[in-house]
Amino acid sequence: MLALLIVAILVGGSLQRVAGMGFGLVAGPFIVLLIGPIEGVLFVNLVGAMMALLVLGRTIRRVDWRRYGWLVSASITVSVPAALLLKDASAPALEISVGGIVVICMTLALVTSRLRGAERPFRSEARLPLLVTGAAAGFGSVAAGIGGPPIAVYSVLDRWDPRAFAATAQPIFLTNALAAMTAKLLVADATFPDLAVWEWVAVFVALVASIGLGELLVGRISASATRKVLVALAYVGGFATLARGLLGLA
Asked if the model's pLDDT at residue 213 lies above 60, the reply is: yes
For the stretch 98-146, pLDDT in tens is 777 777 766 776 776 665 555 666 776 788 989 998 998 888 777 766 7
Measured distance CA(66)–CA(47) in Å, rounded: 26
Determine the average pLDDT of the residues in 155-177. Answer: 85
Instruction: Give pLDDT tens digits for 55-71.
Output: 888 889 989 999 999 99
Considering only CA atoms, which of 240, 214, 223 is closest in space to residue 16? 214
pLDDT for 3:
85
Amino acid (one-letter) located at 211: I
- Could you say which DSSP state residue 24 is in? I
pLDDT of residue 116: 54
Kindly report the number of other CB atoms within 10 A of residue 187's CB atom: 18
Q: Based on DSSP, count helices (H) and strands (E) in the chain, helices before strands.
A: 10, 0
